[in-house]
């Protein structure tokens, strides 16, 4: 076969997309993908539609797909649920803020130390930092609860944040190490020549360059903390300290066995909003973080 013929076949072969061949197959695949995506979106859309039904409509059996009339009744109920929605939201936000701060203070320097220094036992120390992957936090909640109860960290936002931060340490350290390794050494070497000290190099030269990595670990810490249920359930026994997920379980349980379905949907929508907003607006950070944290 002549070179030209091979070239032609090669060109034809690459014309089709990498994983599909032929235009009609491509359209079919797109149609299937769109159909599946629409299906995946249904539960959230139905939940939203339910949340804007009247309370009676939301509990009707058989249920209606669409609201018979629009109403903010359910949101009104969830806003004034027990200690008030704002109490739970602000508890959750406070815990998440503490968790983000702890994760950054711990993981950023650790990532820098691992990326830039060679010292004996480094590999072992790195493995120690990955220990929370091996010892599930679900198992550690008993001793942590006992310790925290002794030093006043039970029923305390900081206490819960410490546990949420622990969940994020392996991923965050790993991601920060990779981020710092991506910073060209020349920049830091230039700073050394200019007479900068180690900490100055870290804070003035390297740190600004790994800002995307820091944003990513903060996002993951927020989402993990905002959504976490088990540790919150164990640590927080006072109504006024409940986080949003505990509140939702309470709404589900209802009064005297009767579930207020409309209020539950309103609660679900409120708990989903921050996560979806972060995902939609900061998808770049989120997905790239996931990929570099789990695969590389």
Partner 1 sequence: MAIRNKNLVGLLYLAPALIFVLLMVLIPFGQLIYTSFTSESLLGGGKWVGAANYMRIWNDSNFWKALGFTVKYTVYITPILMITGYALALLTAPNRPVLQVARGIIFLPVVIGLGTSSLLWFWLFDQQVGLFDRALVDLHLAGNMIAWFNNANSALWAVIISVVWKVVGFGMILFMAAIQGISRDVTEASLIDGAGYWQRVRHIYFPLTARTILLVTLISAIGSMLAFEQLYIMTAGGPNGLTFTSVYWVYQSSFIKFQLGYGSALAVILTAIIMAGAAIQIALTARRAA
Euclidean distance between the first and final Cα of the chain, in Å? 41
- As a whole number of angstroms, the distance between CA 264 and CA 258 comes to 12
Site for partner 1 (CB under 8 A): which residue of 90, 94, 97, 116? 116
In the region spanning residues 126 to 185, those forming contacts with partner 1, defined by CB under 8 A, are: 127-136, 138-147, 162-163, 165-166, 169, 173-174, 178
For 293, residues 6+ apart whose C-beta sits below 8 A from its C-beta are: 171, 174, 175, 220
Q: Long-range contacts for 200-203 (Cβ within 8 Å, ≥24 apart)?
A: 202/109, 202/112
- Counting residues that bind partner 1 (by CB under 8 A) gives 110
Q: Is the dihedral of CA 246, 248, 249, 250 positive or negative?
A: positive
For 198, residues 6+ apart whose C-beta sits below 8 A from its C-beta are: none
Q: Coil, helix or strand for 193? A: helix
Site for partner 1 (CB under 8 A): which residue of 61, 69, 184, 186? 61
Q: Which is nearer to partner 1, 125 or 187 (CB)?
A: 125
Q: Coil, helix or strand for 210? A: coil
Stretch that binds partner 1, among 81-89, 105-113, 182-190, 208-216 (CB under 8 A): 105-113
In the region spanning residues 63 to 82, those forming contacts with partner 1, defined by CB under 8 A, are: 63, 65
Q: Which is nearer to partner 1, 24 or 118 (CB)?
A: 118
74 by Cβ neighbours in 10 Å (0-12 / 13-18 / 19+) ranks as buried
Q: How far is the CB of 105 from partner 1 (least distance, A)?
A: 6
In the region spanning residues 1 to 40, those forming contacts with partner 1, defined by CB under 8 A, are: 6, 9-10, 13-14, 16-21, 25-26, 29-30, 32-34, 36-38, 40
Site for partner 1 (CB under 8 A): which residue of 43, 76, 208, 254? 43
Stretch that binds partner 1, among 78-86, 120-128, 184-192, 209-217 (CB under 8 A): 120-128
């Amino acid at each position: 076969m002549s070179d030209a013929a091979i070239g032609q076949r090669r060109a034809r072969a690459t014309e089709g997309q990498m994983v599909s061949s032929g235009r009609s197959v491509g359209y079919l695949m797109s149609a299937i993908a769109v159909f599946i995506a629409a299906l995946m979106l249904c539960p959230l859309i139905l939940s939203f539609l339910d949340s804007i039904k009247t309370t009676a409509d939301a509990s009707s059996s058989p249920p209606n797909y669409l609201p018979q009339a629009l109403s903010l009744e359910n949101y009104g109920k969830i806003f004034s649920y027990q200690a008030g929605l704002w109490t739970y939201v602000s508890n959750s936000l406070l815990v998440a803020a503490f968790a983000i701060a702890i994760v950054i203070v711990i993981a950023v320097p650790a990532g820098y130390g691992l990326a830039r220094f060679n010292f004996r036992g480094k590999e072992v120390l790195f493995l120690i930092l990955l220990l929370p992957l091996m010892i599930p936090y679900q198992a550690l909640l008993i001793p942590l609860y006992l310790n925290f109860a002794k030093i006043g960290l039970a029923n305390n936002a900081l206490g819960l944040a410490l546990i949420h931060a622990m969940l994020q340490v392996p991923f965050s350290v790993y991601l920060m190490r990779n981020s710092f390794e991506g910073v060209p050494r020349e920049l830091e070497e230039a700073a050394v020549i200019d007479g900068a000290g180690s900490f100055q190099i870290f804070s003035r030269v390297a740190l600004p360059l790994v800002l995307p990595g820091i944003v990513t670990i903060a996002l993951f810490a927020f989402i993990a903390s905002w959504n976490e249920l088990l540790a919150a359930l164990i640590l927080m026994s006072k109504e006024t300290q409940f986080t949003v997920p505990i509140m939702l379980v309470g709404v589900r349980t209802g009064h005297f066995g009767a579930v207020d379905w409309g209020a539950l949907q309103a609660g679900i929508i409120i708990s989903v909003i921050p996560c979806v907003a972060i995902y939609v607006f900061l998808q770049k950070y989120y997905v790239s973080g996931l990929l570099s944290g789990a695969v590389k």
